[in-house]
Structure 1
Amino acid sequence: MSLLEERLAAMGLAVPERVWNKGKNVAVNHVGDFLYVGGHAPTDPDGVIRLKGKLGRDLSVEQGYQAARNCAVVALGNLKSYLGDLDRIVRVVKVLGFVNATEEFQQHGAVIDGFSDLWIALLGENGRHARSSIGVSSLASNISVEIEFIVQIR
C-alpha cells in the first residue's frame, strides 16, 4: 500500500478499482513528467453517478463539496490503475473544475475546494495547485461536478 493510500485509509477512504470506459478518450494522457487527467465525475465504486443536479437548486454547497471530493477519490483509482503506485505522484499542478449551477449560484470555488482540500491533505504543500472553478448551465448526465487536472510524476 502506498503512502497516499495509507493517508486515504486514515481518512476512512479507499482508492476504488477503476477502469476507464469512455469510448474515444482516455483517463490519462502521459506527456513527459506530467499526466493530463481527463474529467472525472462523482461516482460510487460501481460507476453509478452520485449527487446529480444543479448547485443552487438541487444541491447544497456542502453536497457539491462532497461531490468534488469524490471526484478526487475516483481519479485516484484511475491514477493507480495507470501508474501502479500512487507514490509516483509528485504534485498537483493545475485543476479545472466545472460546477453545474444555477445562474445565481456564486460559490463555485467553495464546491471545488472539496477536490483541492483532499489533495492538500494527501500531498501537503505539493497538493496546492493553480485552479479555475467555472459554473456551467449543464453537464453530461446531469452530474453536479466534473474535474480535470494535471499532476507531475516521478
Structure 2
Amino acid sequence: MQTPEERLAELGLMLPAAISLPPDLHLPFALINVRGDRVFVSGHPKQTSEDAIAGPYGKVGADLSTEAAALAARDIALSVLANLRAEIGPLSRVAGWSRVFGMVNSAPGYDQQHLVINGFSDLIVDVFGAEVGRHARSAIGVAGLPMNFAIEIEAELSLA
C-alpha cells in the first residue's frame, strides 16, 4: 500500500516547507493542534514552496476565477499537509479525515464556493484514498477573510 508521501510523488507534487509566519504577525493559536488522536487544523491560506504565506487575494468571482481558486484550494491542501507532517511526522499516521470547512471570499452573487473547495477535497481523497480521505465538508461564501485572502480552509482529522 502506498504512503501519502509516495502518492504525492506519483502525482508529481511536492509539499512546501512548513509555514514560517512573518515576525510581525501574532497568532495566539496553533496552526496544527494535536489533542490525543485528534488533530485540529486552523484556517490555512496558500503558501509558497519557500514557506511564506501567499495569495491569492481578493474576491473569487471578481478578482479570481472559479478555476484559479480551485487550483489555489489544491495548493492549500499541500500547505496543510506540509504543516501537518511537520507536527506529526509521516502522513501515514493519519487514520481519517473527519471534516473540512472552506471559506471563500466571494464577490456579490457568487455561488460556486463548492467548486472552489473541491480543489482541496479532491486532493485529500486522491492522496489518502477514499476510506482515509473521505470527509464531511462545508464550503461557504464570506464577505471577507483575514489579510484579504481569497480562500481559507480548516480541517479535523484523526491519527492512528
TM-score (norm 2): 0.90
Q: Report the CA distance between 1:20 and its aligned residue.
A: 5.3
Q: Report the CA distance between 1:11 and its aligned residue.
A: 1.4
Distance 1:121 1:70 in 2: 14
Conserved? CA contact 1:4–1:87, under 8 Å: yes
**CA deviation map 1:64-95 (0-9, x unaligned):** 10111111100111111001111101111001
Distance 2:158 2:55 in 1: 28
Q: Percent identity?
A: 38
* Mapped pair 1:102 → 2:90: no
What amino acid maps onto 1:5 in structure 2?
A: E
Stretches (4+) displaced over 3 A:
19-22
Query: Partner residue of 1:54?
Result: 59
Structure 1 runs not aligned, ≥5 long: none
What amino acid maps onto 2:82 in structure 1?
A: G
Distance 1:116 1:20 in 2: 24
Superposition RMSD on alpha carbons, in Å?
1.4
Paired residue for 1:71, among 42, 61, 76?
76
Conserved? CA contact 2:19–2:53, under 8 Å: no
Structure 2 runs not aligned, ≥5 long: none
Conserved? CA contact 1:20–1:78, under 8 Å: no
**What number of residue pairs does the alignment pair up?**
153
Conserved? CA contact 1:62–1:111, under 8 Å: yes
Q: Report the CA distance between 1:19 and its aligned residue.
A: 4.0
What amino acid maps onto 1:25 in structure 2?
A: F
